Structure 1
Amino acid sequence: MSESKRLFFALELPGEIQQQIVRWRAAHFPDDAGRPVAAANLHLTLAFLGEISAEKQRALIAMAGCIRQPGFTLHLDDAGQWLRSRVVWLGSRQTPRGLLQLANMLRAQAARSGCYQSPQPFHPHITLLRDTRHAVPIPSPGFRWTIPVETFALYESQFIRGRTRYTALSRWTLTDDKEQG
């Protein structure tokens, strides 16, 4: 019997931007605001898949390899807090159309494969803090990171020695259809 893995599709953030966000978070949120997400774990989830068998993982990898979409630019220029889920997040005031298209394609294909079960609407964000126990002041607008998005990845989430680790299992390049001919 094959072992299942906890998987999700996501956009990776460049290491330099992960570090800039961590420094910005440290400067704008008090130490007791919540549990900070490690720099290496900062990402934007496109589709959470949950526990997936090796067979379904292979099907998801094949499906993701068929996606043909141009890259796009993501601007991280918004932040907020979801009190119910106790999360402080970083996002975009205007979600790029390419991001919505990519997430919708991945979610639809995963659902057809019997892998995607989340009823939650897609709200693209990067989780900065978890387990916030109270409302925290959100920094005023004026911050902005610009990220050219040229790839997406399938990640495995593992809880090892009291810490969550995300490992990219496969990556795909977003390409313009004109280049495919």
Structure 2
Amino acid sequence: MTRHPQHNAPAARRCFFALAVPEKVQQQAINWLQGLPTEARSRQVPKQNHHVTLAFIGNVSAAEIQDLINAINGWQLSAFELCLDRPGLLGNSHYLTWQASQISQAHQQLVTTLRTLCRTTLGAACPVDDFEYLAHLTLRRHSHLGASLPSFGAVQWHCQQFALYQSDLTGDQAQYQVIKSWPLSTY
């Protein structure tokens, strides 16, 4: 598959692969956030935008999106359990997150496979993360809580699918839309 010349054209869409977050987990996150002090500049991530990123792709054309979809169709990857079990701060401590202290081999295989796919399909211009993967759910942006975060219980769910998302910026708020999702096999 080749890099399409319209990669930086206005029709490019900002995309990423992610796991959807079940309603019960979203509600637990909201309940936990309600117990934290409100910060003047902090912005809570809307419930409908909750996800666990697998691989960030960046701006891609419709043709590149189709290349990714075609490459993934027919994959046989395993479903897995994901447990978010600790609070954390990312991005110079400005993103309050709910993190997984460890992930399963099947989860790591999915992340690695998607990152490799992005690099081979989109070429050198693909900004796929080279740093170590950390499964997390971002709860607040522009947070300034400091290093002493209150603890909260763990939440676990069975991940049975992953999706390709598109991010659309409306004003100062992003809205995420699923372009296509794929099942994960339960052998």
TM-score, normalised relative to structure 2: 0.85
The answer to whether the aligner puts 1:152 opposite 2:162 as a matched pair is yes
Residue 103 of structure 2 aligns to a residue in which SS? Answer: coil
Find 1:19's aligned residue among 18, 22, 27.
Answer: 27
TM-aligned CA deviation for residue 90 of structure 1: 0.7
Counterpart of 1:137 in structure 2 is: 148
Q: Assess, with a 3 A threshold, how the Cα gap between structure 1 residues 143 and 155 changes in structure 2: closer, same or farther.
A: same
The answer to whether the aligner puts 1:81 opposite 2:89 as a matched pair is yes
Q: Distance in 1 between matches of 2:33 and 2:73?
A: 35
Q: Distance in 2 between matches of 1:61 and 1:131?
A: 33
Retained in 2: the 8 A contact 1:75–1:147? Answer: yes
Retained in 2: the 8 A contact 1:15–1:40? Answer: no
TM-score, normalised relative to structure 1: 0.88
TM-aligned CA deviation for residue 85 of structure 1: 5.2
Residue 115 of structure 2 aligns to a residue in which SS? Answer: helix
Which amino acid counterpart does residue 165 of structure 2 have in structure 1?
A: Y
Counterpart of 2:137 in structure 1 is: 126
Q: Distance in 2 between matches of 1:5 and 1:69?
A: 26
Which amino acid counterpart does residue 32 of structure 2 have in structure 1?
A: W
Retained in 2: the 8 A contact 1:83–1:135? Answer: no
Give ranges in structure 1 of 5+ residues lacking alignment.
none
- CA deviations 1:48-104 (Å, max 9, x no partner) are 000001111001111222321110111111111136151111111221211111011
Retained in 1: the 8 A contact 2:100–2:134? Answer: no
Which amino acid counterpart does residue 122 of structure 1 have in structure 2?
A: Y
- CA deviations 1:121-175 (Å, max 9, x no partner) are 32111111111235153122x5011110000000000111332100111000001
The answer to whether the aligner puts 1:48 opposite 2:59 as a matched pair is no
- CA deviations 1:14-71 (Å, max 9, x no partner) are 12321221111212x2111721111111110000000001111001111222321110
Q: Distance in 2 between matches of 1:96 and 1:8?
A: 21
Counterpart of 1:32 in structure 2 is: 39
Which amino acid counterpart does residue 90 of structure 1 have in structure 2?
A: W
Which amino acid counterpart does residue 31 of structure 1 have in structure 2?
A: T
Give ranges in structure 2 of 5+ residues lacking alignment.
1-5
Q: Assess, with a 3 A threshold, how the Cα gap between structure 1 residues 83 and 104 changes in structure 2: closer, same or farther.
A: closer
Which amino acid counterpart does residue 133 of structure 1 have in structure 2?
A: H
For 1:86-125, what aligned pairs fall within 5 Å after superposition? 86-114=94-122, 116-117=126-127, 118-125=129-136
